[in-house]
Amino acid sequence: MNLILLFENDVISRDVVRLQGRRREHMLQVLKATAGDQVLVGMLNGLVGKGTITDITADTLTMELRLDRQPPAPLPVTLVLALPRPKMLKRVLFAASSMGVKRLYLINSFRVEKSFWKSPLLSVERMHEYLLLGLEQAKDTVVPEVLLRPQFRPFVEDELPAIMEDSPAFVAHPGAEEPCPRDMKRYVILAIGPEGGFISYEIGKLASIGFIPVSLGERPLRVETSVPALLARIF
Amino acid sequence: MNLILLFENDVISRDVVRLQGRRREHMLQVLKATAGDQVLVGMLNGLVGKGTITDITADTLTMELRLDRQPPAPLPVTLVLALPRPKMLKRVLFAASSMGVKRLYLINSFRVEKSFWKSPLLSVERMHEYLLLGLEQAKDTVVPEVLLRPQFRPFVEDELPAIMEDSPAFVAHPGAEEPCPRDMKRYVILAIGPEGGFISYEIGKLASIGFIPVSLGERPLRVETSVPALLARIF
């Protein structure tokens, strides 16, 4: 936790918040904070700044805020990801959130196991847990939007072209001839397949609306490795 | 498992191996392989090729081998990593191995908790588990060498300069002015700090022998995110 994320209902009066639970514990036990100390804080979807601890009781911690900076710039990307298995999804949500992804579609693919769509992790509340941990890691406040699209073809045919607008679109495909581009200075749409990759039909569908298959090399990577690798290569 | 890794003691006669346990289970249950099928195999630290299944019994699986290709090229990098907490170390060993890292120093730093050095995970056998899983993921056979250096200063002063030779050396440091370089066509030494980063003294020591502090941006990332991100950016 490199930033303490604050919520509307922490606010008890103008520029004053009162915290309980996990964040209070973290400040006392990990940061060893005491009254008078300042910590980096940020208001959910809002500004970043300093919180000065004014009071600590047996179960609360009160801070005065001075929020005066914008959070770090988002990555100019929409990520389109074949739904990973739940254990991987947690890490991918964390990693994508910490790297500044703000829009993420989780889509179906032939190689996505049907059971993954029934995971309780796919509730907004559960996904927010990992997204918010990623924001706290990266000193960010802006919650990524995660959209579930359990049908591949209607999504690609009817919705994805409008999402793409005029942005370049790439689909990561181990063995593609085109190397993954570097240092793009513009908004990009990036699709990443499931373990084992998108099947030919799916690559064909994506190519038909303008996606370019690109590769990071001949090594197939796990999705939790390829998400940070592709984002760091492209931006 | 995108490649079945074979060991010397699997070999029962020239070009014939007999497997038991995890790899046999994987081939039968995940790959649904039957006699006559071919799978991608590789000999530990050796060639890659095809294995043709010739016999399956209640607890063994026999294959004839045709090994005729080199494994994928290694990444031209020596990674110098502040020892992460054990849970992270597993993922980092896997990720680094799958991306083609072949030499990794795990070093001490002020912010490395002393208890991490007592983890049973630091035995060669336990680390090999995760390194080999990374090779199987990436269709590679060459086991990375992992070296433990529990004393920061003697390592940096006495050993690191010889490791560096004339290679450019970078230390990842959130907030460094120099951006992380891209598309290096040569051998690189890359140091990555612990959670919270190397302290100033350590950055100074590394800088004094020629390390350049570089940054991926203003967002601090977890080591399991920053390893793939830095490697993909630099190469």
What part of B 41-80 touches A (C-beta under 8 Å)? 72
pLDDT digits (tens, 9 = 90+) for B19-60: 999 999 999 999 999 999 999 999 999 999 999 999 999 999
A chain contacts of residue B224, beta-carbon cutoff 8 Å: 91, 95, 224
Domain extent for B10? 4-69
The reply to whether A228 and A169 lie within a common domain is yes
CATH label of the domain that carries residue A130: 3.40.1280.10
The reply to whether B111 and B182 lie within a common domain is yes
- Pairwise CB contact (< 8 Å): B98 & A217: no
B chain contacts of residue A98, beta-carbon cutoff 8 Å: 219, 221-222, 225
Residue A175 pLDDT: 83
A chain contacts of residue B98, beta-carbon cutoff 8 Å: 219, 221-222, 225
Nearest by CB to A219, which of B72, B230, B233? B72
- Pairwise CB contact (< 8 Å): B99 & A221: yes
The reply to whether B97 and B189 lie within a common domain is yes
Whether A136 contacts chain B with CB within 8 A: no
The reply to whether A60 and A82 lie within a common domain is no
B chain contacts of residue A111, beta-carbon cutoff 8 Å: none
CATH label of the domain that carries residue A14: 2.40.240.20
Q: What is the rounded CA–CA span in Å between residue B49 and residue B68?
A: 6
- Pairwise CB contact (< 8 Å): A220 & B138: yes
The reply to whether A122 and A222 lie within a common domain is yes
The reply to whether B38 and B124 lie within a common domain is no
Burial A136-147 (b: 16+ CB within 10 A, else e): bbbbbbbbbebe
Write down which residue in B69, B90, B106 finishes a domain.
B69
The reply to whether B42 and B95 lie within a common domain is no
Q: What is the rounded CA–CA span in Å between residue A128 and residue A146?
A: 9
pTM for this model (two decimals) = 0.96
The reply to whether A85 and A34 lie within a common domain is no
The reply to whether B124 and B208 lie within a common domain is yes
Alpha helix ranges (H) inside chain A? 22-25, 86-99, 124-138, 152-154, 160-164, 200-208, 223-234
pLDDT digits (tens, 9 = 90+) for A96-133: 999 999 999 999 999 999 999 999 999 999 999 999 99
- Total domains present in chain B: 2
Shortest CA gap A13–chain B (Å)? 30
**Tens of each residue's pLDDT in chain B, 235 residues:** 899 999 999 999 999 999 999 999 999 999 999 999 999 999 999 999 999 999 999 999 999 999 999 999 999 999 999 999 999 999 999 999 999 999 999 999 999 999 999 999 999 999 999 999 999 999 999 999 999 999 999 999 999 999 999 999 999 998 899 999 999 999 999 999 998 899 999 999 999 999 999 999 999 999 999 999 999 999 9
The reply to whether A145 and A214 lie within a common domain is yes
ipTM value for the complex: 0.96
Shortest CA gap A8–chain B (Å)? 24
Q: How far is CA B190 from the centre of its chain?
A: 14
**Could you tell me which of A176, A177, A187 has the C-alpha nearest to residue A234?**
A187
Whether A99 contacts chain B with CB within 8 A: yes
